Amino acid sequence: MGVVVETNQIEMITRLVMEAMDKEPAGNGVMVPVGVSARHIHLTQEHVEILFGPGYRLTKKKDLMGGQFAANEQVTIVGLKLRAIENVRVLGPVRKASQVEISATDAMRLGIKAPVRESGDVAGSAAIAVVGPQGAVYLKEGCIVAMRHIHMSPRDAQAAGVKDGDYVSVKAENERGTVFDHVKIRVDDSFTLEMHIDTDEANASRIATGDTVKIIR
């Protein structure tokens, strides 16, 4: 009888452990390198030519993931109160819509209310002026604070048990011990594993490019 009870108890404990493992959040424990994203701008070809001259083409400074590149070209952005930030890097290739990505601190400096948005979601976002060496462009919308996110290849996503569009939380296991919630997963064949945060988030959490964070749920 004692043997039967002991066996039943073992089976029950095993079942509870297995159920707990099944409920374990996807991605738990996966380490992700961080890339700190400074303020930058994406431009249409039309706006490139207004800012830098007719027929102008962006020139490559450094390759980035996803077929993007940091261009040699830089511009000045100007807020509604005529407050400016110079030397804002242009990223290529050209896009269908121009978009400026800044930090919340930048937004305060410029005197604008830039919403937190995913890249490409600029409808109803903040207005801003862009000044180049040959001209200027006024964007009625297009200035955002980029939503933090993790780039993954399909293989990375499968290993982490997540899919494109999922949200996870991550923890920086350093002296600040910061937890970031609402981190969106982006999956594409052209991506390499990396979490992107802006300079405000990096400074507050004492994280630098190349550091790693852990997906915790």
Beta bridge partners of 56: none
What does the pLDDT read at residue 185?
A: 97
Tell me: pLDDT of 4 over 70: no
What does the pLDDT read at residue 133?
A: 98
pTM (whole model) above 0.85? no
> Does residue 14 lie in a domain region?
no
What does the pLDDT read at residue 53?
A: 98
Same domain, 51 and 127: yes
Domain end among 127, 146, 165? 146
Same domain, 127 and 163: no
Name the band, by pLDDT with cuts 50, 70 and 90, for residue 14.
low
Q: Which domain holds residue 180?
A: 27-34+148-215
- Cβ–Cβ < 8 Å for 111, 85: no
> Does residue 162 lie in a domain region?
yes
Residue 51 CA to residue 131 CA, distance in Å, equals 7
User: Which of 143, 216, 159 shows the shortest CA–CA distance to 183?
Assistant: 216
Q: What is the mean pLDDT of residues 59-77?
A: 96
Mean pLDDT value across the chain: 91
> Does residue 11 lie in a domain region?
no
CB atoms inside a 10 Å sphere around CB 110: 24
Give the pLDDT confidence of 79-135 residue by residue, as tens digits. 988 899 999 999 999 999 999 999 999 999 999 999 999 999 999 999 999 999 999
Q: What is the mean pLDDT of residues 14-36?
A: 69
What does the pLDDT read at residue 20?
A: 53
Same domain, 122 and 175: no
> Does residue 70 lie in a domain region?
yes
